[in-house]
Amino acid sequence: MYFDTHAHYDDRTFDEDRDSLLAALPESGVTLVIDPGCDVKSSRAAIELAARYEHVYAAVGIHPEELGDFTEENICEIARLAGDRKCAAIGEIGLDYYWDDTHKAEQKELFKRQIELAIELDKPIIVHDREAHGDSLEIISQYPELRGVFHCFSGSAEMAKELLRRGWYLGFDGPVTYKNARKALEVLELCPMDRLLLETDSPYLSPVPMRGKRNDSRNLKYIAEKIAEVKDCAAGDVARAAYENGRRLFGI
């Protein structure tokens, strides 16, 4: 069984076949999915999908690229949505300096507001960290009670060690299968089996051999196979470990 802890099925690229695809996932061995929101609209959509499918759960939050949603009204709406019984986390939240490094202070404030909401509601967070490793680590370090996952982890081995020491989980996606995945494989080697999660980030980041095509949760097997190669174990062992890790972190 597979647990895709990060898949954006609210994305418009799934408009034509979303329902048939989600309905068929359990038959393909994908029995749990978390759909994380990136703004108020997509967070609502994630909650709606979770209500329609027993195996789908939601996360709600405002992504750093969506700073325009950073209003008191929208933060309150995220808090309201987070009260849904199938909301498993606050996310996708964090910092992204790749596209815009001119609003770092605003990104940090948005990140902290949502971290504080997660702590208030006793929920884990799903962290988006792109080209902002130092600031991301510094901020989460201010909240020792905080728990969660660094989605599609792209930091250094040293950062991974510190996160693992603090009890965090690391998410591994399609890029671990790419030819230039040296840093990700170094992190995989040191990440214990009880701290890794499998993610697709669908519809993005399709793994080899599906690279260039729309991604979906059925491709988790390729990621598990690569991790198993690195860990010198069976892909089924990876899938089982990641499944239980996800259930433990998200309280499912």
From the CB of residue 193, how many other CB atoms can be counted at a distance below 10 Å?
15
Euclidean distance between CA atoms 215 and 225, whole angstroms: 16
Which pair of tokens denotes residue 46? Answer: 């994630």
- Spatial neighbors of 204 by CB under 8 A, at least 6 apart, are 8, 215
Euclidean distance between CA atoms 73 and 80, whole angstroms: 11
The pLDDT profile of the chain, 252 residues, written as one tens digit per residue, is: 999 999 999 999 999 999 999 999 999 999 999 999 999 999 999 999 999 999 999 999 999 999 999 999 999 999 999 999 999 999 999 999 998 889 999 999 999 999 999 999 999 999 999 999 999 999 999 999 999 999 999 999 999 999 999 999 999 999 999 998 999 999 999 999 999 999 999 999 999 999 999 999 999 999 999 999 999 999 999 999 999 999 999 999
Using a 10 angstrom Cβ sphere, with 0-12 exposed, 13-18 middle and 19 or more buried, the burial of residue 208 is middle
The size of the chain, in residues, is: 252
